[in-house]
Structure 1
Amino acid sequence: MTTANHQIIVCTLCKATDGLSRPGQQLVDRLQAELGDHLAYEVRGVGCMAGCERPCTVAFRAPDKAQYLFGDIDPDIDFTDLVDFARIYRDLTDGWSKASQRPQGLYDKTLARIPAHL
């Protein structure tokens, strides 16, 4: 299975809990450095993912896999859990995981799991 089509998308407009900073682009840069070469993920930022009530939002997607949207992501606290989930997600054939299979820090931060096919 190739992982070249795996993507992580990060909202770059979400404000941090301080209400001032926008940590999304820094998170994009860190994830690109960590995952780009090692796990062949495309990591990019987008202007808004409508998760404004639970910033910072991060999505995982790949062809023919369930997609995930996480919210309330603190780039400093949740970085390792995002990297761990990237490894888990890459290895799941259909992308489907139970909450208990996701890293502990993401357990209550799942905003959506969208099936690949209905």
Structure 2
Amino acid sequence: MPDDTILYVCTTCRAADDAPDGPRGGARLLDALRAELDLRPDAALRIEPVECLSVCKRPCTVAVASADRWTYIYGDLDPVASARTILDGLERYAGTPDGIVPWRERPEAFRKGVVARIPPFPAAKAG
């Protein structure tokens, strides 16, 4: 993966089965992603926890961003079982020049869980 690929994980997402005083689904997803990433020492991915991605009706939620690529927001992710699927999907994302993975090559969780696709930030115009 490009060194500048960042996976933002909403740590405040609350899964339907979360205990009221237990860890939230988003925090559990973050832990699962970090554990799965440890199994992939060659993956050049930075995982960043964020307080809220404002997709509260579709927990658990992540966003993937990289310079000169489309940014994606995905929801409805299982807090534990999705870690491998997410990282597999990000490998496909990294293998494209613009971040657009052909629909049929996306993991099912990404096809069903896409919340938004945001175009790359335009390069600054010279003088």
Instruction: Work out the CA distance in 2 between the residues paired with 1:105 and 1:68.
Output: 13
Instruction: Work out the CA distance in 2 between the residues paired with 1:76 and 1:34.
Output: 10
| 1:32–1:42 CA contact under 8 A, matched in 2 | no
Structure 2 residue 62 is the aligned partner of structure 1 residue 58: yes
Q: What fraction of aligned residue pairs are identical, expressed as a percent? A: 34
What is the match of residue 87 of structure 1?
Answer: 91
Instruction: Work out the CA distance in 2 between the residues paired with 1:7 and 1:71.
Output: 16
Q: Which has the larger radius of gyration?
A: 2
Query: Residue 104 of structure 2: which of 86, 100, 103 is its match?
Result: 100
1:105: Cα distance to partner?
2.6
> Higher helix share goes to which structure?
1
Unaligned runs of 5+ in 2: 123-127
Query: Which amino acid is the alignment partner of residue 106 of structure 1?
Result: F
Q: How does 1:9-88 map to 2 (within 5 A)?
A: 9-20=8-19, 21-35=23-37, 37-88=41-92
TM-score, length-scaled by structure 2: 0.81
4+ residue segments displaced more than 4 Å: none
Instruction: Work out the CA distance in 1 between the residues paired with 2:103 and 2:81.
Output: 19
Unaligned runs of 5+ in 1: none
Instruction: Work out the CA distance in 2 between the residues paired with 1:25 and 1:62.
Output: 23
Instruction: Work out the CA distance in 2 between the residues paired with 1:64 and 1:29.
Output: 28
Instruction: Work out the CA distance in 2 between the residues paired with 1:18 and 1:99.
Output: 30
TM-score, length-scaled by structure 1: 0.86
